[in-house]
Amino acid sequence: SQTIHQWPATLVQPVGSPLSLECTVEGTSNPNLYWYRQAAGRGLQLLFYSVGIGQISSEVPQNLSASRPQDRQFILSSKKLLLSDSGFYLCAWRDKEKAGNTIYFGEGSWLTVV
């Protein structure tokens, strides 16, 4: 069966510090991968998605970046965090071969920028 894990689960970072959130998927190959952000009490905002290794599409301009160094690994980064980067970050994957298929989410990472 397929699983998705992201870490760390919780982190508190000072303004201006770097960020690295990592996500890995097991039990599937060549998935579509996604990073979403959920600000407190708000809906989901798609940040980045990737259809393959090294292929990243950005949905919103900001000081975050994403990379996909391996087929089932997706990394969210920042060189200098802002207060507004605080939120709940969700990694997700989808099997692109299946029509009408489901997106599966990781457990989420709580980021507090202080």
Partner 1 sequence: GDSVTQMEGPVTLSEEAFLTINCTYTATGYPSLFWYVQYPGEGLQLLLKATKADDKGSNKGFEATYRKETTSFHLEKGSVQVSDSAVYFCALRQDGQNFVFGPGTRLSVLP
**Residue at token pair 């997106």:** 103
Contact flag: residue 11 with partner 1 (CB under 8 A):
no
Contact flag: residue 42 with partner 1 (CB under 8 A):
yes
With CA atoms as reference, report the closest residue to 62 among 42, 40, 87, 41: 87
Dihedral angle computed from the Cα positions of residues 2, 90, 24 and 80, in that order, rounded to the nearest 10 degrees = 180
- Tally of residues, the chain: 114
Angle (CA) 51-56-7 rounded to 5° is 90
Question: Minimum distance between the CB of residue 108 and partner 1, rounded to whole angstroms?
Answer: 5
Question: Minimum distance between the CB of residue 80 and partner 1, rounded to whole angstroms?
Answer: 27
Selected from 14, 54, 69, 99, the binder of partner 1 by CB under 8 A is 99
Query: x/- contact string, 50-89, with partner 1 (CB under 8 A)?
Result: ----------------------------------------
**Are the C-beta atoms of 21 and 75 separated by less than 8 Å?**
yes
Residues near partner 1, by CB under 8 A: 34, 42-44, 46, 49, 90, 92, 99-100, 102-108, 110
